[in-house]
Structure 1
Amino acid sequence: MPLQIYKRGHVYWAKGWIEYNGRPIAGPYRRSTKASSEEGARDWINYETERQIRRYVVGDEPSKTFSDAIMLYNASPKAAKQLIPIVEAIGDLSLGTISAALLKSLGPKLKPKASTDTWWREIVTPATAVINNAHELEGTPLIRVKPYDKFERIAQDKRRGKLSRVERTPADKEWIEAFCRAADPYNAALVRFMFETAARIDQAVSLEPDDLRPHENKVRVKAQKGHPESWITVSPQMMDELLALPPKRPKNRKTGKLMKARVFGYGSSTGYNTRWKTICKRAGIPYLSAHPAGRHGFFTELVVRQGVDPVTAAKAGRWSDPNLPMRIYAHAETDEADIRARFRTNHVQEDPVQTPKSKKSKKE
């Protein structure tokens, strides 16, 4: 029976055989076309039929290599930079021979001093994306990789002599106020804006004058990490602080040309670091980078210190899942020694009510 399509749920599947000159040459099929329309499903059947007939007449085509898969992948500049050493290591290997274990083994070779989290983020994830993109486009083998477990993470931390996933202290109101007293108006407004709105540093430094709606107390933050561009509400005091800053045109470090005017005057998401270290030293407070000072501090302040429910806090900070910030950002602030001391504390007990004993009647 030639290939036929049928619908399962919202997706069309194909079943049957591929035939050539009346003879079955490939099958039997019972496979998803991954198409939600009948037209898309028929396109898949046509492509698969041509591929199998060509294979039957000409023979197997040379296996696609990782380098071939790279040419099919539309990589961002950041991902392209991460993929360069990976291509040098496994570019000549056919996709069918690349296993999950092989991808995970690239970490110690390419970045021996990095953590397993870095290996996953900068090696395994981009390489997996390339391979699975080729699977979607050309039908090459799919790959699934199990994350590094805690034992692998601990062993790598021991080898490199450095802990990963170190708990970072979030900012509180006292830290923010001390920072602002020692800072210039631009950096004071920047840290207050991130602490109040949970904006990421790249969203904050990208603000332009047109991103402010003073009459509505609204600020436009750009799309980032899967979240679309949005207008967020700020306090009237925050808006006044933003409007008081004369916009600055930062210089592009690579081209040397002046960029568009920005609210905080920074041209990149890392330009603030040196200045903030100086401010923290002057204020006599520990240095915090933008994330613990802003987004991290925002959630801890609302949930832990002010008792706002996590769902409301997550929505205000533009997290799609409240479990994520609860797991990463909500730090308990009770000292461990205090917890232990509670087991040694003698609780004050109320004196039992003294009731007069009833006198037994003597038998006469």
Structure 2
Amino acid sequence: MPVKIYKRGDIWHFRGTVAGRRLRGSTGTGDKAIAQRIAAEREAEAWKGHLDGPSAVLTFAQAAALYTQAGKGDHRTLRMMDFWKTTLVKNITEGQVRQAAVTLYPSHKAATRNREVIAPTQAIINHAASLGKCSPLTVARFKVAKVEKIPVTWEWVQAFMRHAPPHLGALACFMFLTGARISEALAVRWEDVDFTARKAKIRQTKLYGEERFAHLPAPLLVAMANCKRDRDTVFRYVERDSVRKSWDSAVKRAKIAPLSPHACRHGFATAMLHAGVDPVTVAKRGGWKNVQHVFATYGHAMEDETITDRIVSNTAFLPQRNYGKA
């Protein structure tokens, strides 16, 4: 059945069959001539995809839609969709992706270009490739200078809490004692918190809809209990950008190192590792998917030179046996 147009209200729609596949949709116009052209283009596109393979007609916008339907989309997906639009995926090269990163973030560091452009663009295309829609794409990342992440400590958090409003202090405490990202912490609602069981549900923003339950140590329970319940969310702030001004003011009042909210997550991992917790458990409790990332990123060396005493601290001293001849 060839593709034909028909009118529904003031708008022309199309329907038909191409190579056994049904096509139907709206042309979005009330102009019959334009509607006929749009329908003809959809029919030609369908035939091209059938004869030359799906990669011949797959646009980046369509690939991004597939990615989002799989539950993997975020704000970067929309940004990349807006940039690439109807560009055919098969025409997007490694060089074009790297240039897009420079174009969109001309004065930003390599890490930002990698995170905001290269990673999402490659992820969207490679997801479509996994569905047989196109070929996979590999894009070399911009070289990032390794900078040691400075984590907060429990002492830092306590000082911060003494000089911050209750909900802001509780936010810092929550991130440090659960390993939550700030976006995850700000999404926690009162209905997610079980004070009796000492648990809170955390929706993991980087693991595509997965959830985990975090234990709430006693100091955190107290801090959260002191927060007002006049909003659905526990920590009141709508988004991370609205936190930063109040955060910096509290840091200044406390006269402590000017560390960011994300340093609390670093502090969680570092403190857990230094407490002797294995990286696998740290990754599970903090919501990291890659255990190796935990070890490589947060395994800060301890400065205490006497740390080797711990090797024998719980072992009774045994006198050395004399192996020489009598």
Counterpart of 2:152 in structure 1 is 171
| Structure 2 gap segments, 5+ residues each | 1-45, 306-326
The structure-2 alpha-carbon separation of the partners of 1:70 and 1:331, relative to structure 1 and needing over 3 Å to count, comes to: same
DSSP 3-state at the match of 2:201? strand
The structure-2 alpha-carbon separation of the partners of 1:263 and 1:69, relative to structure 1 and needing over 3 Å to count, comes to: closer
Q: Which amino acid aligns with 1:128?
A: Q
Counterpart of 2:281 in structure 1 is 312
Displacement of 1:273 in angstroms is 0.8
The structure-2 alpha-carbon separation of the partners of 1:80 and 1:61, relative to structure 1 and needing over 3 Å to count, comes to: closer
Counterpart of 1:231 in structure 2 is 213
| Distance in 1 of aligned mates of 2:218 and 2:49 | 69
1:123 aligns with 2:125: no
| Distance in 2 of aligned mates of 1:300 and 1:103 | 35
Displacement of 1:145 in angstroms is 0.9
The structure-2 alpha-carbon separation of the partners of 1:269 and 1:248, relative to structure 1 and needing over 3 Å to count, comes to: farther
| Distance in 2 of aligned mates of 1:233 and 1:61 | 47
**Are the counterparts in 2 of residues 83 and 126 from structure 1 also a CA contact under 8 Å?**
no
The one of 215, 233, 237 aligned to 1:266 = 237
Displacement of 1:73 in angstroms is 4.0
1:248 aligns with 2:219: no
DSSP 3-state at the match of 1:225? coil
The structure-2 alpha-carbon separation of the partners of 1:310 and 1:96, relative to structure 1 and needing over 3 Å to count, comes to: closer
Counterpart of 2:181 in structure 1 is 200
The structure-2 alpha-carbon separation of the partners of 1:181 and 1:65, relative to structure 1 and needing over 3 Å to count, comes to: same
Deviation sequence 1:328-348 (CA, Å, 0-9, x none): 12222439xx9xxxxxxxxxx
| Distance in 2 of aligned mates of 1:194 and 1:60 | 48
The structure-2 alpha-carbon separation of the partners of 1:195 and 1:73, relative to structure 1 and needing over 3 Å to count, comes to: same
**Are the counterparts in 2 of residues 96 and 140 from structure 1 also a CA contact under 8 Å?**
no
1:100 aligns with 2:94: yes
The one of 277, 295, 313 aligned to 1:326 = 295
Q: Choose 188-197 or 202-211, whichever is displaced more.
A: 202-211
Deviation sequence 1:50-69 (CA, Å, 0-9, x none): 979963xxx99994264564
Displacement of 1:182 in angstroms is 1.3
Q: Which amino acid aligns with 1:207?
A: V
| Structure 1 gap segments, 5+ residues each | 1-49, 155-163, 250-260, 339-364
Counterpart of 1:13 in structure 2 is none
1:86 aligns with 2:87: no
| Distance in 1 of aligned mates of 2:174 and 2:247 | 15
What TM-score comes out, normalization by structure 1 length?
0.60
| Distance in 2 of aligned mates of 1:316 and 1:63 | 44
Q: Choose 262-271 or 104-113, whichever is displaced more.
A: 104-113
Instruction: Give the total of aligned pairs.
Output: 254
**Are the counterparts in 1 of residues 269 and 298 from structure 2 also a CA contact under 8 Å?**
yes
Q: Which structure is larger by alpha-carbon Rg, 1 or 2? A: 1
| Distance in 1 of aligned mates of 2:284 and 2:110 | 31
**Are the counterparts in 1 of residues 204 and 287 from structure 2 also a CA contact under 8 Å?**
no
**Are the counterparts in 2 of residues 314 and 325 from structure 1 also a CA contact under 8 Å?**
yes
Displacement of 1:133 in angstroms is 4.9
Deviation sequence 1:8-36 (CA, Å, 0-9, x none): xxxxxxxxxxxxxxxxxxxxxxxxxxxxx
What TM-score comes out, normalization by structure 2 length?
0.66
**Are the counterparts in 2 of residues 186 and 245 from structure 1 also a CA contact under 8 Å?**
yes
Displacement of 1:104 in angstroms is 2.5
Displacement of 1:327 in angstroms is 0.9
The structure-2 alpha-carbon separation of the partners of 1:307 and 1:219, relative to structure 1 and needing over 3 Å to count, comes to: same
Deviation sequence 1:159-214 (CA, Å, 0-9, x none): xxxxx543231101221122122122222222112111111112222222222212
Q: Which amino acid aligns with 2:267?
A: G
**Are the counterparts in 2 of residues 72 and 134 from structure 1 also a CA contact under 8 Å?**
no
DSSP 3-state at the match of 1:315? helix
**Are the counterparts in 1 of residues 280 and 291 from structure 2 also a CA contact under 8 Å?**
yes
The structure-2 alpha-carbon separation of the partners of 1:70 and 1:273, relative to structure 1 and needing over 3 Å to count, comes to: same
The structure-2 alpha-carbon separation of the partners of 1:105 and 1:317, relative to structure 1 and needing over 3 Å to count, comes to: same
Matched residues, percent identical?
Answer: 27
Higher RCO by CA contacts (8 Å cutoff, separation 6 or greater): 2
